[in-house]
Amino acid sequence: MACLFSAKIFTIFPEMFPGPLGVSLVGRALQNNIWSLEAVNLRDYANDKHRSVDDTAFGGGPGMVLRPDIIDAALMAHYRTRPNTLIYLSPRGIPLTQEYVKKLANQSHLGLLCGRFEGIDQRVLDAWHIEEVSLGDFILSGGEVAAMALLDAVVRLLPGVLGEQESLNEESFTENLLEYPQYTRPRNWKGHLVPEILLSGHHEKIKAWRKAESEKLTRERRVDLWQRYKAAQQERKD
Ligand SMILES: C[S@@+](CC[C@H](N)C(=O)[O-])C[C@H]1O[C@@H](n2cnc3c(N)ncnc32)[C@H](O)[C@@H]1O
């Protein structure tokens, strides 16, 4: 199969890749050339004998900052022009959502920049119009784990990666709902029974039960999603 999607990761720890992206569904897709991955070592673009990529922050404060000239040299070496999607994984970025992941899965290439220390000099982010994307409201020690999470979410949406396209349509966040509870064998586990309806073979009733469970979970756990779900329902009615 022809490669549908390529990713380049700009990092000072290229040895972290493919890591978890090399196993299971996403790893098999990598081996089958459905997507490709290149980890670029930012230190290859350093210009001193210590291969340094960072320096102290102007204005003071603790920690080091990744230098703009080094990042720029790495990007210039890999792109003649700015790629459509160039992302800096950053806690200041827009929060990653399934909707955004779907958009990324329609691209043919993704450039991902991983910060370390206190982050990256602002000027290179501005000069290359780099989007900032966050994994959530917490601080990781580097962008690599965030890049892996983002790529895992994107690659599983590529055609041919998941066996059953069906399962994509019923996942959490589709239509702003969380997924209903799942059950498998044994039917009776330590006295805990599988809900009767799921054993009935009545497809319409099962569908209705799952929808009701999805709604209940979303209402209880995620007020933000629940409000969006209700608003979308109202819009359809109007
Ligand atoms: C220690 S953090 C720097 C945090 C930065 N000083 C701040 O307060 O915003 C080092 C790097 O980890 C990555 N990182 C940390 N938290 C992240 C998050 N929630 N989402 C995505 N990337 C994150 C970024 O690439 C960041 O440059």
Residue type, 28: R
CB 219 within 8 A of CB 226: yes
Q: Does 219 have pLDDT greater than 70?
A: yes
Report how far ligand 1's centroid is from the alpha carbon of 211 (Å): 37
Report how far ligand 1's centroid is from the alpha carbon of 73 (Å): 22
Q: How many CA atoms lie within 13 A of 130 on its CB side?
A: 30
Predicted pLDDT of residue 164: 66
Q: What are phi and psi of 164, to 5 degrees?
A: -105, 105
**Cα gap 180→217, rounded to integer Å:** 7
Q: How many CA atoms lie within 13 A of 164 on its CB side?
A: 5
| Residue 66 Cα: closest atom of ligand 1 | 27
Q: Does 166 have pLDDT greater than 60?
A: no
Q: What is the mean pLDDT of residues 107-124?
A: 98
Q: Report the share of the chain in percent with pLDDT over 70.
A: 98
Q: Is the pTM of this model over 0.85?
A: yes
| Residue 139 Cα: closest atom of ligand 1 | 16
- Residue 24, CA distances (Å) to 28, 122, 148, 155, 165 in order: 6, 37, 14, 12, 17
Task: Confirm or reject: Cβ of 135 under 6 Å from ligand 1.
Answer: yes
Task: Confirm or reject: Cβ of 13 under 6 Å from ligand 1.
Answer: no
Whose tokens are 């969006």? That residue is 228
Q: What is the mean pLDDT of residues 1-28?
A: 95
| Residue 92 Cα: closest atom of ligand 1 | 9
Model confidence band, residue 153 (pLDDT cutoffs 50, 70, 90)? very high
Report how far ligand 1's centroid is from the alpha carbon of 62 (Å): 15
DSSP letter for each residue of 86-121: EEEEEEEEEEP-HHHHHHHHTSSEEEEEE--TT-B-
Q: Does 71 have pLDDT greater than 60?
A: yes
Q: Does 165 have pLDDT greater than 70?
A: no
Q: Which of 138-142, 163-167, 229-233 has the lowest mean pLDDT?
A: 163-167
Q: Whose Cα sits closest to atom 6 in ligand 1?
A: 118
| Residue 141 Cα: closest atom of ligand 1 | 1
Q: Cβ of 120: how many Cβ atoms within 10 Å? A: 25
Report how far ligand 1's centroid is from the alpha carbon of 21 (Å): 21
Question: Average pLDDT, whole number, for the chain?
Answer: 96
Q: What is the mean pLDDT of residues 103-128?
A: 98
**Cα gap 32→28, rounded to integer Å:** 6
Set out the domains of the chain in order of their start, with CATH numbers: 5-155 (3.40.1280.10), 171-237 (1.10.1270.20)
The encoded tokens of residue 118 equal 């206190």
From 65, 140, 144, 152, mutation site for ligand 1 pocket: most ligand atoms within 8 A of C-beta: 140
**Cα gap 51→69, rounded to integer Å:** 13
Model confidence band, residue 169 (pLDDT cutoffs 50, 70, 90)? confident
Q: In sequence order, what are the beta bridge partners of 40?
A: 10
Q: What is the mean pLDDT of residues 40-58?
A: 97
